[in-house]
Every structure is written in structure tokens, then in C-alpha cells.
Amino acid sequence: MKTKAVRLYGKKDLRLEEFELPQIKDNEILAKVVCDSLCMSSYKASNQGTDHKRVPDDVAKNPIIVGHEFAGELVEVGSKWAGDFKAGDKFSIQPALNYKDGPVGILSAPGYSYAHIGGDATYVIIPNEVMELGCLLPYKGKGFYPASLSEPLSCVIGAIHANYHTTPGSYVHNMEIVDAGKMALLAGVGPMGLAAINYVLHRQDRKPSLLVVTDIDQTRLDRAATLYTVDFAKKQGIDLRYVNTSQMPDAVAGLKEISGADGYNDVFVFAPVAPVVEQADAILGFDGCLNFFAGPSNSDFSAKMNFYNVHYAYTHVVGTSGGNTDDMKEALEIMSKGLDPAGLVTHIGGMNAVIDATLNLPNIPGGKKLIYNHVEMPLTPITEFRAIGKNNGVYEVLADICEKNHGLWSIEAEEFLLANIKALNYK
């Protein structure tokens, strides 16, 4: 079986190549990858090469396939796993293989460490350890892109589960956000912030009574308010507020006033910006939990924190770096029941767009860049489909589909694209 894949050979050395996959072993599975969502972690790995903790030292001779937020369908199942999986099953992958011993080390992961599995390939071989560790995850919902986005959504789910609170006099940590509490998402209308809003509004077991989402970009706030409306939140029992803190004379005072002056139980920071972290600390209420979600690239990143409140008001900080397998299972489950992560996606492209997009990801505005691996298509903002459609009917229909879906990607759009690959006429 031939595969076409983007492989990493070293720092900023990505190559789109076609090569032969070996015959699968009895404990392996051959799979078709339909789509992959580009992640900032792939940008970091591609720019750092062997300096990255998950990338093997010998990639110059044994390149790895990049990409780890992918979904597709199984093609051939080795005899060991024939009782658990079958050809045609749709899947996602938990890339964090948390095992103690393995062929490429403790931190090995699809998309960083393997020669024959990664998200930016047309076909891959899923190795035995992925199944052994329960990291091949079935997806029973519609389409493929929701399963591709289950990994980023799991990061949000994991962060929310990681928050904790205490009871004075007890040393037991009560995990999770406060049910019916006050919650704030600062710098919260980027891709991961939107995922957090979507999840909070759709989960059934635990919700805040007040959800405040801030940013300093009114256009992004307005888009978020269109995607996840105040009216929908109200039906879920949540008072949702979108706040532009740049328009407040005193953002801390203004946010505290919205909370009723008592501050917030749970505050999430979605940008590695010191003033935002300090703002989050300042609006914490008693026993408030600050979740630093944004991963800084600067290892010396720091911000001030009020330790008087740590001592007397029990305020505290947590941070997470990705979700675990249970979080991904929850993401897949909630999406199969109707949560649509399409609000994350702003660009669509084909395999030919992966290299440039991955190496320049921080400089490309918007949200998630969704790649369809069997398609040749430049990385294209959904907002530009209409203009391109003047010369290409496929884009025109895609524009129609997206516009009737509030400007968002959708299962209908995905199905139309995959059914009209040849008509794209990409050159």
C-alpha cells in the first residue's frame, strides 16, 4: 500500500513524499486518514526538530510523519484485533501514549515519533501499542472532522476537570469547576476558548451559573456571540456575557462587578500574556482556582500573583497540557450526541498545503486549519469561498453550504468536498 505523507527530517525540514508502507503485522491495523487538524504543537516539533522531546534523534535517516489530530476509517485489521475492530470503523487517535517502555521512548506519540503513523498521511499503520493502551478510539458520529477535533476538545475537557476547590479545615481537593458557580474565560475567543465555551454550554452534569468571556478584539467577540449565543446559554441555565475589557476603564473592577463583587470560582487564561494572568488572579474569589491553559513558548514566562490571597483566601493555580484518553472519549461521546466543533475551523486545505501552513502556523490568522488528506487544495479561509467560487463551482457550492450554516464548516460541506475532489481543479 502506497501512502503520501508529510515527513519531518530535521528543523524546518518537512517533505511531502510518497512511499510504500510495509505489510501490516498480525497486531497492527491499516487505516485511511481522511482529515487532520493542524496543531501548534506540530509547528513546535517541526521547528525544533530533534530538540523537541517527542522527536527521535535519528529523524534525518528515519523521518517521522507529522500531525496528531486526525480521523479516518480502518482498512485492514490484523488478526490480534479482529475481535475488537473491523474494516470501515471510523476512528480517532489519542496521541499521548503514556506507557513506560516502548520502541521510541516514554514520550513517543503518533505525529511526533513514528515512521508509519501520523495525521498528515493518506494511509497509516496503527502500531500494536496504540491498541494495547486503549488509544485507538471509535467514533460513531457523523462525518470525520468532529473526530479530528476530539483531541483539541479533550484538552479543554481535561483542563476543566483539573480545576479543584477546597473546604476550610479539610485537606481533600474537590475536583472540577464549581457547579452553579461563577466562571470566566480570559482571552477566551481564540480556537481553544471557543471550544471551552461550546463544551461548557453543552455538558449536562456540571455548569456555571455565570460565564464571562473576555477579549480585546470586538470582531472576535461578536463572532463568538454569533456561534454560541446568549439565548442558547440561557436555555442551559447559564448567564453568558461577552466582555471587551479594552473598553473598561478598570477591567478588574468591571469584571468583579459583573460577578457580584465576590469574584469568580473558576478563571481560565487562554493567552500567555502576563497582564492577563495578573488580571485573572485579581478577580478570583474565595477558594478561586486559576487555570493557566495557554502554553507559553518562553520557558522564563512569569507573572505576579497575590500571595496574601493565596494564604488567606485559599486562591490557587492549576495548569494542564493536553487531555487524557478518558477526556478524548468524553469529547467523542458529546460530539456524537450533537456538539459540533465546527466553530473552531476557519481554514480548509489539502495535503499540498500542510508544509507551508505547519511551518507558518502562528502567522496565519483565524482558528483551526483543517486538512483533507486526499484533496489537493490551497489553504483557504472559509470566508473566501464565495470570491473563489466565481471561477470554480465547487467553492461556490461550499460557500452556499457554509453561509446557511452561519459561516461554519459542516458535515454537509465535508461530504460535498469529498464527493467533488476532482472538480476542484487545483493547480
What sign results for the dihedral spanned by CA atoms 93, 94, 96, 101? negative
Strand positions, DSSP E, 192-238: 210-215
Q: And the C-alpha cell for 360?
A: 507558518
CA distance 239 to 286: 21
Grid cell for residue 98: 503514556
Each as own residue / partner, the long-range contacts of residues 167-172 (CB below 8 Å, 24 or more positions apart, any chain) are: 168/314
Kindly give the parts of the chain with pLDDT less than 50.
Answer: 100-105, 427
Domains and CATH numbers, the chain: 1-148+340-427 (3.90.180.10), 155-318 (3.40.50.720)
Instruction: Give the alpha-carbon dihedral of 117, 118, 121, 122, to 10 degrees.
Output: 60
Q: What is the pLDDT of residue 208?
A: 98
pLDDT tens by residue, 176-233: 999 999 999 999 998 889 999 999 999 988 999 999 999 999 999 998 999 999 999 9
Question: Residue 213: what pLDDT?
Answer: 98
3-class DSSP state of 244: strand
Nearest to 162 by CA among 149, 175, 180: 175
Residue with cell 467553492: 395
DSSP 121: B
pTM of the model: 0.86
Distances (CA, A) of 20 to 3, 4, 186, 333, 397: 6, 9, 47, 35, 36
> Cα–Cα distance between 44 and 42 in angstroms, integer?
5
Q: So what's the pLDDT on residue 416?
A: 97
pLDDT of amino acid 105: 46
Let me know: does 64 contact 113? Beta carbons within 8 Å: yes
Strand partners, 242: 213
What's the pLDDT tens digit per position in 15-71? 999 999 999 999 999 999 999 999 988 999 999 999 998 999 999 999 999 999 999
Radius of gyration for the chain, computed over Cα atoms and rounded to the nearest angstrom: 22
Distances (CA, A) of 194 to 154, 298, 304: 13, 24, 27
Residue written as grid cell 513514528: 114
